[in-house]
Amino acid sequence: MYKNLNCGAIGQKASFEEAVALAAEFGFGGVDIDLKYAQEKGPNAVKALLAKHGLRAGAFGFGIKFRDGDSEAAWAESLGELTRQAPLAAACGCTRCATWVPPASDATPFRANLKRFIDRIKPATEVLAAHGISVGLEFIGPRTLRAGKKHGFLYTMDGMRAATAQMGPNAGLLLDCWHWYTCQSTVTDLEQLTADEVVVVHLNDAPAGIAVTDQVDNKRELPAATGVIDIKGFLGALKKIGYDGPITVEPFNQAVREMSVKDAVKATAASLDKAFKQAGV
């Protein structure tokens, strides 16, 4: 596994070239791919830029429309866009993409939601598979996001795992330790996974002094900042199953957002170094 940078995920704005330079400066092993840059400059330019700085391609955003409010026409259009993005991403050396899945709905009951989810994602996984790309789907764990909603959906690791098993061998998890913690999964649960089921990993910590059932999704900490989340056990389990992909920070943290982009990347790198050292990875 390697430290991976996505400036947007830490609340910062940077061009792809700036992100690559910052990732190299602060010891990251990879950076998420900007497909707009790849479209403008060409995949060879992306590969050359990464090679120049000794970086790997992380992931790109999976834009399929499958949520409440997304029409059939919007889904079909997004699938068409993916057919153009997939070969471009593959030509850049990027074999992973990911997105999040709402944990509840006021509009759609569970069974109908699950059918729509699988019916719309499965054709996309087939498009991606033709180019050697896997998709990670993120379960969203906090109880506070489901409270007051009419219909629950997939908000646990095992629930999402069961759904992705119906979508093809290149469908797996975007596994965020924040959601693993808030849905109250365990290290033993992680050890039941296989490496190819984990497509992308996010690493964060949680504020101290708040019960797990009361944690709020957009108030997180940098990895290993508080010790509330068992990051050592989390990373140790990933090492045990042989995960070798990107580890990206997404803290939704106001203090990090208010830093300069360089200071934010520096702080993110330091937090990952601390977490990796604690876990011995």
pLDDT tens figures, 175-214: 999 999 999 999 999 999 999 999 999 999 999 999 999 9
Mean pLDDT, range 23-31, rounded to an integer: 98
Nearest Cα to 181, choosing from 153, 151, 214? Answer: 214
Length of the chain: 281
For the chain, percent of residues with pLDDT exceeding 70: 100
Give the position of tokens 């050359």.
48
pLDDT tens figures, 127-143: 999 999 999 999 999 99
Q: Taking the domains of the chain in order of start, what are their residue ranges? A: 2-279
Q: How far apart are CA 80 and CA 21, in angstroms?
A: 32
Question: Would you place residue 98 in the very low, low, confident or very high pLDDT band (cuts 50, 70, 90)?
Answer: very high
Please tell me the pTM assigned to this model: 0.96
pLDDT value of residue 32: 98
Mean pLDDT, range 236-249, rounded to an integer: 98
Q: In the structure, how many helices (H) and strands (E) does the chain have? A: 12, 11
Could you tell me the two tokens for 24? 């190299």
Task: Check: CB of residue 181 under 8 Å from CB of residue 229.
Answer: yes
Degrees to nearest 5, angle at CA 20 with 226 and 79: 90
pLDDT value of residue 218: 92
Mean pLDDT, range 271-281, rounded to an integer: 95
Domain 2-279 has CATH 3.20.20.150: yes
Instruction: Count other Cβ atoms within 10 Å, centred on residue 162.
Output: 12
